[in-house]
C-alpha cells in the first residue's frame, strides 16, 4: 500500500472538503457558543464576551445541579434498560442464519427512517391512559382472570396505569428512541466473537448462563462500552422526549438549556450549561478510551 506522502494531491483532495465542513459547521459554531458562555447580555440580541465566569457559577446553582443529577440518573437508568433489552437482540441477530441477518438488521434500523418527532408522538398513543399499553394490559388482566377461574379478577374493572407524563414515560421514550444505538455496536462485537470459546466453555462443563456471564459478556465489553456511550451521551442532553412524554416533574437539564436559548433569551447561561454537559461527555469519552487501551 502506498503511503499518503507519495500521493499528497490525492490525500489533500479527499481530506480538505471534510475538514472545511467540520471546521465551518461544527468547530466554528461550537467555539462561538463556548465564547458566549463567558459573555454577558448587552441588549435583547447583543452578547458581549467579557471573560466572566458568572454563567458557570449560575449553572452550578443547587437548583440546576439537582436537574443535572436528575438528568444523569434518568439517562443512566435508560441506558441500563437499553443494554438489558439490546443484548439479547444483538445476540439473537449474531447467531441467526446468514440469510436472515440482513432482514433482522433492517428491522433494527427501520425506526431511523421515521422522524424523531413522529416516533415520540407515537409513544404518546402507546402510553396514554386509553393507549395501546393499557389496552394490552387490560386484555392480559381479563385473560388471566378467565383462564385461572378467578372470577373476581375477571369481573373486577381494570384500572388503567398512569404511564404518560412521568419519569417512567421519559425512560421508556429514551429506550425506544436510542435502542438501535445499543444493538448495532453490540452486534458488531458479537459477530466478530470467536465461537470456539463458547464451545470450550460448554465442553468443560459450564452451563449456558455461566458461559454467557463468564465468556460472552467479557468478550462483548468493547461493544457494551461503545453502546453505553452512544446512548448515555445523547440521553443526557435530550429535551424533546422529556418535553413531550414527561410531566412538570420530569423536566431535564436539556429542557432548561432549550428555554435559555429560546424563551429566556439568555444565551450565555444556556451556553455555560451546554458546555458543562459537554465536559461530562468528554470525560465519558476519555474513560472509554482508557478502558479500550486496557482491553488491548
Of the candidates 235, 239, 231, 234, the residue with the CA atom closest to the CA atom of residue 180: 231
Cα–Cα distance for residue pair 226/288, rounded to 1 Å:
8
158's grid cell: 381494570
Q: DSSP letter at 262?
A: T
Task: Report angle CA 247, 248, 252 to the nearest 5 degrees.
Answer: 85
Paired residues of 47 in beta bridges = 41
Helix (H, G, I), strand (E, B) or coil at 141: helix
Note whether 164 and 209 are within 8 A (CB). Answer: no
Note whether 228 and 103 are within 8 A (CB). Answer: no
**From first to last of its 296 residues, what are the pLDDT tens digits of the chain?**
556 667 777 778 888 888 999 999 989 999 999 999 999 988 777 888 888 999 999 999 998 999 999 999 999 999 999 999 999 999 999 999 989 999 999 999 988 888 888 999 999 999 988 888 888 888 877 776 655 555 555 556 667 788 889 999 999 999 999 999 999 999 999 999 888 888 888 888 888 888 888 899 999 998 998 899 899 989 988 999 999 998 888 889 999 999 999 888 899 999 999 999 888 878 877 877 777 676 65
**Which CATH code is given to the segment(s) 54-128+163-295?**
1.10.3720.10
- Which residues fall within 8 angstroms of residue 240, CB to CB, at 6 or more apart? 116, 117, 120
Would you kindly state where each structural domain of the chain is located, as residue ranges?
54-128+163-295
Task: Report angle CA 63, 64, 68 to the nearest 5 degrees.
Answer: 125
Supply the pTM of this predicted model: 0.86
Roughly what angle, to the nearest 10 degrees, separates helices 221-236 and 267-295?
180
Amino acid at each position: 500500500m502506498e503511503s499518503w506522502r507519495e500521493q499528497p494531491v490525492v490525500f489533500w483532495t479527499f481530506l480538505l472538503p471534510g475538514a472545511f465542513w467540520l471546521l465551518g459547521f461544527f468547530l466554528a459554531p461550537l467555539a462561538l457558543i463556548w465564547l458566549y458562555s463567558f459573555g454577558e447580555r448587552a441588549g435583547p440580541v447583543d452578547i458581549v464576551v467579557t471573560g466572566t465566569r458568572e454563567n458557570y457559577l449560575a449553572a452550578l446553582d443547587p437548583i440546576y445541579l439537582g436537574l443535572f443529577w436528575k438528568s444523569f440518573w434518568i439517562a443512566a437508568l435508560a441506558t441500563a434498560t437499553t443494554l438489558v433489552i439490546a443484548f439479547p437482540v444483538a445476540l439473537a441477530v449474531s447467531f441467526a442464519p446468514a440469510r436472515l441477518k440482513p432482514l433482522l438488521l433492517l428491522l433494527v434500523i427501520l425506526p431511523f427512517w421515521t422522524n424523531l418527532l413522529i416516533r415520540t408522538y407515537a409513544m404518546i398513543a402507546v402510553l396514554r391512559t386509553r393507549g395501546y399499553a393499557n389496552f394490552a394490559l387490560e386484555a392480559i388482566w381479563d385473560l388471566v382472570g378467565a383462564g385461572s377461574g378467578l372470577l373476581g379478577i375477571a369481573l373486577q374493572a381494570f384500572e388503567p396505569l398512569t404511564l404518560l407524563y412521568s419519569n417512567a414515560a421519559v425512560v421508556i421514550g429514551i429506550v425506544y428512541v436510542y435502542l438501535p444505538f445499543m444493538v448495532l455496536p453490540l452486534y458488531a462485537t458479537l459477530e466478530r466473537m470467536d465461537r470456539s470459546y463458547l464451545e470450550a466453555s460448554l465442553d468443560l462443563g459450564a452451563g449456558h448462563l455461566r458461559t454467557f456471564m463468564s465468556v460472552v459478556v467479557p468478550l462483548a465489553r468493547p461493544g457494551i462500552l461503545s453502546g453505553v456511550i452512544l446512548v448515555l451521551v445523547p440521553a443526557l442532553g435530550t429535551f424533546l422526549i422529556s418535553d413531550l412524554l414527561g410531566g412538570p416533574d420530569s423536566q431535564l437539564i436539556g429542557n432548561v438549556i432549550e428555554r435559555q436559548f429560546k424563551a429566556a433569551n439568555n444565551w450565555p447561561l444556556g451556553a455555560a450549561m451546554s458546555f458543562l454537559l459537554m465536559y461530562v461527555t468528554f470525560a465519558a469519552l476519555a474513560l472509554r478510551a482508557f478502558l479500550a487501551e486496557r482491553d488491548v
